[in-house]
Chain A
């Protein structure tokens, strides 16, 4: 397992895709913060300034294109050895499929978590540079920050597991970036058509999409139901998709 982790980290260090995606994330955050600054300056004329470093730190993952970039990056990471057929060399050297899969899982999870921390710290520092220092925030928002990391683990599990199940680079990128949203949209439509005659029917499958969890975390204090969803959904997504990817990769012929 140690050899596999070293192998994955070496590939990562030399991966152009990784540096491009990481830079795009920073550029995206920078542009959004500059835009926020302009809007805030305009709004301050009207007496409602809202830009501050703490807020920028808390919204770093939701304000940019973080989720989309992760969707692309994790598809590339999970499928690159399958796409280049180099996975043959790895299996043939006597590494179990489980060890190969989970070494990729651990390295990519580490990368995603580190990237998130860097984006948050960058947002905080850049906001200070823009003249928007930190402000004290309610305690529950720090709890939301912790839940954002849980959300991130769920998002990683979804994109990594799904990409591993698909095993083909182009298809995995497409499914991660737009496929999941399309599926939720279609399911939502289908469910509302089926239950169109039911009075007071207010179930929405979209509430179970990880995107909606992040939106909830950005809002006010969570209700009990929202808190449960914010905890259980990432765990559920991780369990289902990481296990699915593992089972498929164990059986795949290379």
Chain B
């Protein structure tokens, strides 16, 4: 088996998926490390589910390669992955336990796991109720239970907290954290609920229109969001040029009468001096705390 020498459990290279003339994924290079809780963020239709499906063999890539656990023999590597993609796929005429018994055969899971997993996801008391009569939240929990069968090394979960009430969301969040911290399970999870993701994610991937715009560690993101200089001036475009000379790596976003500078540590007094020297009228310079949600929205191409 061909294996790569790094520690990535998911590594894609130029992964592309097209349907006819429509490119759904465009040369995606994703990197998920062992032990990560990787929050995968993007608008509806950005390509999150498509990428997850490619990883799991539900769809075939048009171009590019995938490595799972460093290996290119994907069917074998997928034995170590539990997943929940889109809405849970269940045998609706069967009980929750029977669904688990069936999928346990595929996951090489011990039948004795089933009761404990059902209790783990809060379905310990559903008895003989058919899955077809479950609420969306219950189905979602059962989908997660199926993903957990066989003690997988990695979970790939697409919107796993959809349809859950606040208590259920907290339970699933705690469950994922426990799996990650106690059993070292790597988790790739997508969600629209950014606040919820932010509570557990160690690394983010942001996808927009099929392109992976950015991969960033959670702590780095926190730093970026905290260090933002907000400058009010009547010449934001000229000011941006001056600041670019001062801090070439800074991320500058200029508006009509202000600009935000992030990504590099700057002293406000030095910035003020340079702007004044350049003949720019500065009304105010303040440190602002950026909102994480705004950061994502900006990376995802603005508000939908």
Give CA–CA (A94, B106) in the complex, Å. 9
Q: Does A86 lie within 8 Å of B79, measured CB to CB?
A: no
B58 touches A7 (CB 8 A): no
The 7 closest A-B pairs by CB, nearest first: A94-B78, A94-B79, A85-B89, A92-B56, A92-B83, A7-B105, A86-B89
Contact assessment for A94 and B105 in the assembled complex, using a CB-CB cutoff below 8 Å:
no
CB-CB < 8 A to A4: which residues of B?
106
- Sample of 28 A–B contacts (CB below 8 Å): A10-B102, A10-B105, A14-B98, A16-B93, A84-B90, A84-B91, A86-B91, A88-B56, A88-B58, A89-B106, A89-B146, A91-B56, A91-B57, A91-B58, A92-B81, A92-B83, A92-B156, A93-B79, A93-B106, A93-B107, A94-B75, A94-B77, A94-B79, A94-B81, A95-B75, A96-B75, A253-B53, A253-B59
Query: Contacts of A87 on B, CB cut-off 8 Å?
Result: 89
Alpha-carbon separation in the docked complex, A7 to B108 (Å): 11
B87-104 vs A, Cβ < 8 Å mask (1 yes, 0 no): 101111110001001110
Instruction: Tell me the complex Cα distance, A254–B92, Å.
Output: 18
The SS class assigned to the A binding surface is helix
Q: Which residues of B contact A85 (CB under 8 A)?
A: 87, 89
A251 in contact (CB, < 8 A): yes
Task: Report whether B92 and A93 are in contact in the complex, using a CB–CB cutoff of 8 Å.
Answer: no
A residues in contact with B90, CB < 8 Å = 84, 86
B6 at the interface (CB under 8 A from A): no
Question: Quick check: is B291 within 8 A (CB to CB) of the other chain?
Answer: no
CA distance A90 to B102 in the complex (A): 10
Q: Verify A3–B108 contact, CB threshold 8 A.
A: yes
Does the CB pair A92–B105 fall under 8 Å? no
Residues on B with C-beta less than 8 A from A7 are 102, 105-106
A11 at the interface (CB under 8 A from B): yes
On whether the beta carbons of B103 and A89 are closer than 8 Å, the reply is yes
Q: Give the number of residue pairs across the A-B interface with Cβ within 8 Å.
A: 74
**Given the complex of chains A and B, what is the CA–CA distance between A11 and B80 in angstroms?**
24
Within 8 A of B (CB), among A189-235: none
For this complex, into which size category does the number of interface residues on chain B fall?
20 to 34
The distance in angstroms between the C-alpha atoms of A78 and B86, with both chains bound, is 23
Q: With A3-B105, A7-B102, A10-B105 in contact, is A92–B58 under 8 Å at CB?
A: yes
Q: Would you call B105 and A84 a contact (CB within 8 A)?
A: no
User: In angstroms, how far is the closest chain A Cβ from the Cβ of B44?
Assistant: 19
Is B91 in contact with A90, judged by CB distance below 8 angstroms? no
In the assembled complex, how far is the CB of residue A94 from the closest CB belonging to chain B, in whole angstroms? 3
Q: Are B79 and A254 in contact (CB under 8 A)?
A: no
For the complex, give the distance between the alpha carbons of A169 and B90 in Å: 17
Would you call B32 an interface residue if the criterion is a C-beta within 8 Å of the partner chain's C-beta atoms?
no
Complex CA gap A86/B76 in Å reads 20
Residue of B nearest to A87 (CB): B89
Interface set of B (CB-CB < 8 Å, partner A): 53, 56-60, 74-81, 83, 85-87, 89-94, 98, 101-103, 105-108, 146, 156
Q: Are A92 and B57 in contact (CB under 8 A)?
A: yes
How far, in whole Å, are A84 and B93 apart by their CA atoms in the complex?
10
Q: B89 and A94: CB pair below 8 A?
A: no
How many angstroms from the CA of A243 to the CA of B57 in the assembled complex?
21
Also in contact, A254 and B78, with CB within 8 A (given A10-B105, A93-B107): no
Please name the residue on chain B nearest to A6 by beta carbon.
B105
Say yes or no: B76 contacts A11, CB within 8 Å: no
Given the known A-B contacts A10-B102, A10-B105, A94-B78, are A89 and B59 also in contact in the complex, defined by CB atoms under 8 Å? no
B108: chain A residues at CB < 8 Å are: 3
**Other A-B pairs beyond A88-B85, A89-B83, 9, CB < 8 Å:** A10-B101, A10-B105, A84-B92, A88-B86, A89-B146, A91-B57, A92-B81, A94-B75, A94-B77
How far in angstroms is the closest Cβ of chain A from B118? 17
Report the separation of the CA atoms of residues A90 and B80 in the bound assembly, to the nearest whole angstrom: 13
Give A1-57 interface residues, CB cut-off 8 Å to B. 3-4, 6-7, 10-11, 14, 16
CB pair A95–B102 under 8 Å, yes or no, is: no
**1/0 per residue A65-96: CB within 8 Å of B?**
00000000000000000001111111111111
Pick from B60, B83, B107: contact of A251, CB under 8 Å: B60
Closest A residue to B83 using CB positions: A92
Give every chain A residue within 8 A of B86 (Cβ-Cβ). Answer: 88
Q: How far is the CA of A253 from the CA of B19 in the complex (A)?
A: 11
Residues of chain B within 8 A (CB-CB) of A16 are: 93
CB closest chain-B residue, reference A96: B75
Q: Which residues of the partner chain A approach B105 to less than 8 Å between Cβ atoms?
A: 3, 6-7, 10
Which residue of chain B has the shortest Cβ distance to A10 in the bound complex? B102
Q: Beyond A254-B58, A254-B59, is A92–B102 a contact (Cβ under 8 Å)?
A: no
Name the one of A94, A251, A253 contacting B76, with C-beta atoms under 8 angstroms.
A94
Q: Which of B83, B108, B156 has the most CB of A within 10 A?
A: B83
| Complex contacts, B78 vs chain A, CB 8 Å | 92-94
Give 1 or 0 for each of A97-123: 1 = CB within 8 Å of chain B CB.
000000000000000000000000000
Bound: A85/B90 CA distance, A: 8
Give the distance in Å from the alpha carbon of A92 to the alpha carbon of B58 in the complex. 7
Q: How far is the CA of A102 from the CA of B92 in the complex (A)?
A: 25
B94 CB, nearest partner CB in chain A, Å:
7
Whole-angstrom distance between the Cβ of B277 and the nearest chain A Cβ: 60
Residue of A nearest to B98 (CB): A14
